């Protein structure tokens, strides 16, 4: 029998977990040149007239034509080879639990797999799949603070996971929200997944959360898994959370007339998720467009969930909404980037000086009939990802999950 050195065994095990995402070790200057198409993430100007981005120490410092920007002293140079650069995608609705593991489907490395789908930032809608999740006030506060800390310390693959989203219970008092905020909690988990399922209580607690700078979301629609319940339009509108979580259901959507009431009855974020009803997502999209409110549309996957994890879920939503919802692809990408960043006050999601240097570099998938990447997405195909960058550091090259990109960027120098 072979003797296995426990230390070695641990090292082998560690290799399966991308716990040690590279961190910046000194001053860095990233130059991405020869960009064929630059998507800004901003609906008011989704395409930028530029072919070069410079990022220093993880932040964008210049965007322009190669001749106009200072590329001297670059520590890393990427030749985009005429491909497309967009802000890293944001998943507005995930349910992380511990590290890069989910007990829901007992799956490891799901966050790293999302990175291969272009997702560089995730927002927790509650760590609800934690086995033995505490429902008492002290326990749920402790778990939220723990999750916030743990996911900020650990970035699987480099992905920024904003976690620590407590699910509210009826026994909570205002002081609990003050205490959570003081401890660094910035999000509420989906209202309705805990004991609070009525409008007046939800409204009171969402108000306390808002008072202390904690953002809120709500579970909209029918029960997701046994044990959860229905949240209808009256509760959604009365609770008045910052984001109408999965307005297209997760999975079961409200009837169209209720979805329309929500769209028209508030100005909050309208979140469409992969783990929901696609027809209802398209109905919400059309309603928001009629209202001139496409800026409210944000995307999530709601994974891990009963339907598993969807590493390409955000790309699939972009492609689905663009192709079946007749949205120009460059605008559909804004749903997964700039819209979410603005609504959630994130420093990523837009190609703007001062923002985090979080990018996804893509090209038309091989053999897509689309003439360009945008055309291919409008035809319902997914783009191929060639590289992801977070905080100015290259995290992945050719995606192991998307269809292969026709062209991939090259690292000219640095790493």
Inter-residue contact 58 to 27 (CB < 8 Å): no
What tokens appear for 285 in the block? 């999209």
Nearer residue to Zn ion within complex by CB, 112 or 169: 169
Residue with tokens 């398209």: 282
Only one of the segments 1-9, 216-224, 349-357, 392-400 lies at the binding site for Zn ion (rule: CB under 5 A); that segment is 216-224
For residue 105, the tally of other CB atoms under 10 A from its CB is 14
Long-range contacts made by residues 393-396, C-beta under 8 angstroms, separation at least 24? 393/22, 393/23, 393/24, 393/28, 393/30, 393/58, 393/158, 394/76, 394/78, 395/21, 395/22, 395/115, 395/120, 395/157, 395/158, 396/115, 396/116, 396/157
What tokens appear for 76 in the block? 């890393």
Only one of the segments 132-140, 218-226, 308-316, 405-413 lies at the binding site for Zn ion (rule: CB under 5 A); that segment is 218-226
Asked if 126 interacts with Zn ion (CB under 5 A), we say: no
Nearer residue to Zn ion within complex by CB, 157 or 300: 300
Asked if 276 interacts with Zn ion (CB under 5 A), we say: no
* Minimum CB distance to Zn ion, residue 161 (Å): 18
Nearer residue to Zn ion within complex by CB, 43 or 123: 123
Nearer residue to Zn ion within complex by CB, 121 or 224: 224
Q: State how far the Cα of 143 lies from the Cα of 127, in Å rounded to an integer.
A: 9
* Minimum CB distance to Zn ion, residue 317 (Å): 16
* Minimum CB distance to Zn ion, residue 401 (Å): 24
Q: Which residues does residue 389 pair with via DSSP β-bridges, in sequence order?
A: 359, 394
Only one of the segments 115-123, 248-256, 275-283, 368-376 lies at the binding site for Zn ion (rule: CB under 5 A); that segment is 248-256
Nearer residue to Zn ion within complex by CB, 116 or 219: 219
* Minimum CB distance to Zn ion, residue 358 (Å): 26
Integer angstrom CA distances of residue 26 from 31, 57, 75, 327: 16, 8, 10, 42
* Minimum CB distance to Zn ion, residue 125 (Å): 7
Nearer residue to Zn ion within complex by CB, 298 or 405: 298
DSSP string, 47-66: EES-SEEEEETTEEEEEE-T
Only one of the segments 23-31, 75-83, 107-115, 244-252 lies at the binding site for Zn ion (rule: CB under 5 A); that segment is 244-252
Nearer residue to Zn ion within complex by CB, 224 or 307: 224
Nearer residue to Zn ion within complex by CB, 225 or 412: 225
- Residue 280, helix vs strand vs coil: helix
* Minimum CB distance to Zn ion, residue 301 (Å): 11
Asked if 116 interacts with Zn ion (CB under 5 A), we say: no
Q: Are strands 269-273 and 297-300 parallel, antiparallel or unpaired?
A: parallel
* Minimum CB distance to Zn ion, residue 217 (Å): 9
Q: State how far the Cα of 268 lies from the Cα of 343, in Å rounded to an integer.
A: 9
User: Which residue's Cβ has the minimum distance to Zn ion?
Assistant: 219
Q: Which of 217, 196, 176, 197 is nearest to 94 (CA)?
A: 217
Asked if 219 interacts with Zn ion (CB under 5 A), we say: yes
Nearer residue to Zn ion within complex by CB, 45 or 135: 135
What tokens appear for 235 in the block? 């509760």
What tokens appear for 153 in the block? 């310390």
Q: How many residues bind Zn ion (CB under 5 A)?
A: 4
Interface mask toward Zn ion for 153-192; x: CB under 5 A: -------------------------------------x--
Give 234: exposed, middle or buried? Use CB within 10 Å, 0-12, 13-18, 19+: middle
What residues contact 363, with CB distance under 8 A and at least 6 apart?
Answer: 83, 84, 373, 383, 384, 386, 405, 406, 407, 408
Asked if 250 interacts with Zn ion (CB under 5 A), we say: yes
* Minimum CB distance to Zn ion, residue 167 (Å): 10
Which residues would be at the binding site for Zn ion (CB under 5 A)?
190, 219, 224, 250
């Amino acid at each position: 029998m072979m003797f296995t050195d426990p230390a070695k065994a641990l090292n082998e095990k560690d290799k399966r977990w991308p716990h040690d995402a590279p961190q910046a070790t000194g001053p860095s200057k990233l130059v991405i040149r020869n960009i064929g198409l630059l998507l800004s993430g901003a609906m008011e100007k989704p395409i930028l007239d530029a072919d070069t981005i410079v990022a220093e120490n993880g932040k964008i410092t210049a965007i322009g034509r190669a001749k106009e920007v200072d590329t001297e002293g670059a520590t890393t140079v990427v030749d985009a080879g005429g491909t497309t650069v967009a802000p890293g995608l944001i998943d507005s609705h995930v349910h992380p639990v511990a590290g890069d593991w989910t007990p829901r489907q007992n799956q490891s490395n799901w966050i790293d797999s999302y990175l291969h789908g272009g997702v560089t930032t995730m927002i927790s809608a509650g760590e609800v799949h934690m086995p033995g999740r505490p429902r008492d006030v002290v326990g749920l506060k402790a778990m939220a603070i723990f999750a916030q800390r743990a996911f900020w310390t650990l970035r699987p693959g480099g992905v920024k996971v904003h976690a620590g989203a407590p699910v509210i219970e009826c026994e909570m008092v205002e002081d609990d929200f003050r205490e959570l905020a003081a401890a660094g909690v910035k999000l509420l988990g989906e209202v309705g997944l805990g004991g609070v399922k009525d409008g007046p209580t939800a409204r009171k607690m969402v108000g306390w959360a808002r008072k202390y700078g904690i953002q809120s979301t709500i579970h909209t629609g029918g029960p997701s898994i046994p044990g959860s319940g229905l949240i209808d339009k009256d509760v959604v509108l009365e609770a008045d959370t910052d984001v109408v979580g999965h307005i297209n259901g997760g999975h079961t959507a409200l009837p169209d007339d209720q979805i329309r009431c929500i769209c028209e009855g508030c100005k909050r974020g309208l979140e469409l998720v992969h783990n929901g009803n696609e027809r209802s997502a398209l109905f919400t999209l059309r309603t928001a467009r009629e209202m001139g409110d496409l800026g409210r549309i944000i995307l999530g996957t709601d994974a891990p969930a009963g339907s598993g994890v969807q590493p390409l879920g955000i790309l699939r939503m972009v492609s689905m909404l663009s192709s079946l919802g007749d949205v120009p692809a460059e605008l559909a990408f804004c749903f997964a980037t700039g819209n979410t960043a603005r609504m959630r006050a994130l420093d990523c999601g837009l190609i703007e000086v001062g923002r985090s240097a979080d990018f996804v570099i893509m090209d038309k998938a091989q053999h897509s009939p689309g003439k360009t990447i945008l055309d291919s997405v409008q035809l319902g195909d997914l783009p191929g990802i060639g590289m992801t960058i977070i905080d100015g550091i290259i995290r992945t090259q050719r995606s192991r999950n998307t269809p292969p990109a026709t062209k991939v960027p090259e690292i000219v120098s640095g790493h």
